Amino acid sequence: MIKSEPIIGVSDVESSSKWYQNLLGCKSGHGGPTFEILQDEQDTFLCLHKWGEHAHPTLSNEEIEHGNGLILYLKVNRLDEIWQRAQDMNIEIEEPLQLNENSGKRQFCVRDPDQYYLMISEN
């Protein structure tokens, strides 16, 4: 088995954590101002890391465009609930809820507080 737990650089770990928790209904698995582990009901799916902490070379420069070449593709079980939360949170929608004809799944796209592109798709 291969499992991925992406780590993204963020400006404010605690604020970003709350944003993800509010949108996705996930929970904190670590907490704190420099690193966060976000978990669903079963496992970790994303980690948040404060820019410039812990001397990681790819997380050292906040000035570089965030997420260039990266799509955070999240498959969820409660797409309609999360879509409604996105609207309630007044999140800027990049692509509205629609059917992706390639995958046959409904999805929508938003940007997080650090401008990472999230594609949220039904599981």
Q: Is 90 helix (H, G, I), strand (E, B) or coil?
A: coil
Residue 62's pLDDT band (cuts 50, 70, 90): confident
pTM: 0.91
Q: What Cα–Cα distance (Å) separates residue 62 from each residue in 19, 29, 67, 71, 103?
A: 19, 24, 11, 18, 34
Question: In a 10 Å sphere around its CB, with 0-12 CB exposed, 13-18 middle and 19+ buried, how is residue 45 labelled?
Answer: buried
Output Rg (C-alpha) for the chain, integer angstroms.
14
Q: Give the tokens for residue 69.
A: 């070449």
Strand-pair category, 72-76 with 117-122? parallel
Of the candidates 46, 20, 18, the residue with the CA atom closest to the CA atom of residue 32: 18
Q: Tell me: pLDDT of 66 over 80.
A: no
CATH architecture of 7-122: Roll (3.10)
Q: What is the mean pLDDT of residues 32-36?
A: 96
**What value does the mean pLDDT take over residues 57-84?**
89
Helix, strand, or coil (residue 26): coil
How far is the C-alpha of 83 from the C-alpha of 109, rounded, in Å?
A: 10
Across 50-56, average pLDDT: 86
Map out the domains of the chain as residue ranges: 7-122
